[in-house]
Chain A
């Protein structure tokens, strides 16, 4: 484990660290997806909420997600250093010392949870605290390095934000918010396994037991296809139970069929190079898929409110 050699600990200050480096600790790209899905949960929730409270709630969820990111980077700095995708993160690149990330993560966790509790309600705050706990401890510390099912279970952490947004308005957990959770939860495995297929050597070098490294490419392709089929079916449920209307259903059908198409193409490839290419294509499309389907939730809801459908 010579890669630990260059990792500084709390012996020096983060000399030369810029604000951007601390901001990068919060994983802004992940944060943007979290903010968007949480906003959808918040806007779909019945009852309405004061815009200031809504803005504070979204800020708290964003900061809470950022705190999880900082805690993840604190713990994973050793493996981040050996993976090309993560080697330039602030800690492995030597721009920030590890303990600063830990302190930042803890302070922001407490701040975001407490503020959400005071501004919205204790249930939303409890859910946010659980989300941070789940991502930082259950996923990062425990599951990530111990089981190929790491991102299946850990995916729950990324699926909670719309439930938190919903709970911030209603103070409850409902079937509808559980469906929002389920869509992200089922989306996560094909998304990350597609990434793992074309970044296999990275994960192998870092000794992370991702499914392709442990069970092989074929098993991963099969699992991706199975999850894609289940995701497609579950994404239609909001329409079947009357939670969503035609705008959502058409979008879910079209984007879900395309998702399934990418998964089938990946499933049918055997050669290494085309498989990586298909994995990369599915990974890229899956990001658009999640955005489109959550945007469809908003569009359908908005059209109903305006009386257009």
Chain B
């Protein structure tokens, strides 16, 4: 199994964090969207 290599520079560290931040933002946004959609659907049914 390949051992992940730690970041060897600030640029690499920042780039990796930026990529993961985007993924985090998308994931949480989807979570928000799902539950707002569900609440709107629920209100519509009422």
Contact = CB atoms under 8 A, between A and B. Distances in A.
B5 to A, nearest CB: 7
A109 B35 contact: no
Given A122-B38, A126-B35, A11 B17 contact: no
A125 interface: yes
A113 B27 CA distance: 13
B31 A141 contact: no
Contact of A113 (B20, B31, B41): B31
Interface in B1-46: 3-7, 10, 13, 16-17, 20-21, 24-25, 27-29, 31-32, 34-36, 38-39, 41-42
A73 B41 CA distance: 35
Contact of A7 (B5, B13, B41, B42): B13
A106 B6 contact: no
Contacts of B34: 129
A252 B12 CA distance: 51
A75 B17 contact: yes
A4 interface: yes
A222 B40 CA distance: 43
Contact of B31 (A4, A75, A121, A129): A129
A117 B4 contact: no
A109 B39 contact: no
B5 A129 contact: no
A78 B35 CA distance: 33
B29 A117 contact: no
Nearest to A1: B10
A137 B13 contact: no
Contacts of A125: 35, 38-39
| Max count, chain A CB within 10 A of own CB: residue among B21, B27, B28 | B28
A236 B8 CA distance: 55
Given A102-B20, A106-B24, A136-B24, A122 B42 contact: yes
Contacts of B3: 11
B24 A129 contact: no
Contacts of A9: 4, 6-7, 13, 16
B39 A141 contact: no
19 contacts: A4-B7, A8-B6, A9-B6, A9-B7, A9-B16, A75-B17, A75-B21, A102-B20, A106-B24, A110-B31, A113-B35, A122-B41, A125-B35, A125-B39, A126-B39, A133-B28, A136-B24, A141-B24, A141-B25
